[in-house]
Structure 1
């Protein structure tokens, strides 16, 4: 299966972000990919009046993704935001969602379960958590959908694997800081090993390496460090990008999923559900 990683650096301008998505999707489709995966917050970068901006741009974003998928005949997976229903007007929140859009216009949405209340950041102050794991079939292959901080919770990946997922998506806007890149690499590799699945982890490009962001951007915020990567079910790094925006096309040998389950039956050997 040929997949593409769309490592972009999203901004607070939705139209700029859609242009980046469209350009990357076109390149991926021309290279024969059937799906392209973008980061968390591809719709709008974190910060500012996220609820108001999401409310104003939600329809344009969804229609834009559908247009890109149809025009380039490729399934698009990208992170965005939706205003929370019945939100507190004094403290309005959004949901942090990962949206899958097929060329035929079918849409599947995963709402981020684990919110990034760590390293001094409180995502839950402006974001409402999800509650349900989600899988989706793309070109006959089952994908498990996860977002950023989810990668620190292995039981979610075990649940998705038991539900039939052969490929795990981790769409991220990974905060920088001391040791954070090493943690990103370690965690994405570990989730592949302990779920007997491929992991496709797509992060925002490092803002210091992007023409779309100021070099003064605070890298400790959830903006991205780059280094999007693909890891095999045996923990082997199949592909890894650098800091800068890029599109990478990768062929997945899905036979490795069953081979991993046979030779390293982690989930079959698990005790007490752990």
Structure 2
């Protein structure tokens, strides 16, 4: 029998940059997953909006979770025996779309719809995106993994709740908007939310793209943060893949010594 207190998982954050074409973006995402898996990752996280960048007509590219984009990710995950987390857009009932994380791989199939929409810094995500309502966790290789997306990082209660649901790792795909102080805020919030949840946080942003209006297009700086809020690994601004190992023994130790949850 496995010991949940000592589970270890090799993870990767594939910091890529998406354009407006889902077909081209799928090809890039599949290649990134293949590279990450070849280097030993069992869980590969892609950014938010990897299906199509913000600034695209999202309603025109949105697909259901059995559409071509999700099916392509599902196939590469199955072929390689890894779990893939990726941000895409699915149609919502009110004519908007959902900003959705697909999670797919051997024995795992779930999704999370972004709860907190980016109505800040001049952007109005809620004009085109309908919010989700449910927190989501899933089990994989003796770990409980929680899900959050980009702007969710500004809401500590979501991460505390995921910690209370048992999440030992929280993955956060993002397409963080550039601007004054935004790098510092990203670094601060990823560290703070890990401490709030007392969980590892693997945050995967889109690679840096020069700003276009108020569309959040990515700053890079994907990172893995420990349950004490320490940065274990961080990428720069450009396209790259972060590889690291998550050890749940650290989670158990932190939660026993600092019982805030």
Return the alpha-carbon distance in structure 2 between the equivalents of residues 241 and 20 of structure 1: 19
Q: What are the equivalent positions in structure 2 for 1:28-43 lying under 5 Å apart? A: 28-43=36-51
Contact 1:3 1:251 in 2 (8 A): yes
Return the alpha-carbon distance in structure 2 between the equivalents of residues 65 and 219 of structure 1: 30
TM-fit CA distance, 1:231: 0.3
Match in the other structure for 1:96: 99
Return the alpha-carbon distance in structure 2 between the equivalents of residues 221 and 47 of structure 1: 6
TM-fit CA distance, 1:36: 0.2
Secondary structure in structure 2 of the residue aligned to 1:82: strand
Match in the other structure for 1:272: none
Return the alpha-carbon distance in structure 2 between the equivalents of residues 139 and 125 of structure 1: 38
Return the alpha-carbon distance in structure 2 between the equivalents of residues 84 and 58 of structure 1: 15
TM-score, normalised on structure 1? 0.89
Contact 1:71 1:103 in 2 (8 A): no
Contact 1:230 1:239 in 2 (8 A): yes
Return the alpha-carbon distance in structure 1 between the equivalents of residues 104 and 134 of structure 2: 19
Return the alpha-carbon distance in structure 1 between the equivalents of residues 213 and 102 of structure 2: 26
Match in the other structure for 2:153: 151
TM-fit CA distance, 1:248: 1.7
Is 1:248 equivalent to 2:242 in the alignment?
Answer: yes
Match in the other structure for 2:4: none
Provide closer, same or farther for how the CA distance between residues 21 and 186 of structure 1 changes in structure 2, counting only shifts above 3 A. Answer: same
Match in the other structure for 1:259: 253
Residues 154-199 of structure 1 deviation map (CA, whole Å, 9 limit, x = unaligned): 1111111111100011111100000001000000000111111000
TM-fit CA distance, 1:220: 4.4
Match in the other structure for 2:16: 8
TM-fit CA distance, 1:100: 0.2
Is 1:170 equivalent to 2:172 in the alignment?
Answer: yes
Q: What are the equivalent positions in structure 2 for 1:189-204 lying under 5 Å apart? A: 189-204=191-206
TM-fit CA distance, 1:70: 1.4
| Long gaps (5+) in structure 2 | 1-8
| Long gaps (5+) in structure 1 | 209-216, 268-274
Return the alpha-carbon distance in structure 2 between the equivalents of residues 140 and 10 of structure 1: 32
Task: Report the number of matched residues.
Answer: 253
Query: Of 224, 228, 235, which residue of structure 2 is paired with 1:234?
Result: 228
Return the alpha-carbon distance in structure 2 between the equivalents of residues 248 and 169 of structure 1: 13
Secondary structure in structure 2 of the residue aligned to 1:186: helix
Match in the other structure for 1:67: 75
Match in the other structure for 2:6: none
Residues 32-71 of structure 1 deviation map (CA, whole Å, 9 limit, x = unaligned): 1111001110111111321011149971111111111012
TM-score, normalised on structure 2? 0.93
Secondary structure in structure 2 of the residue aligned to 1:127: coil
Is 1:218 equivalent to 2:193 in the alignment?
Answer: no
Contact 1:45 1:223 in 2 (8 A): yes
TM-fit CA distance, 1:221: 2.1
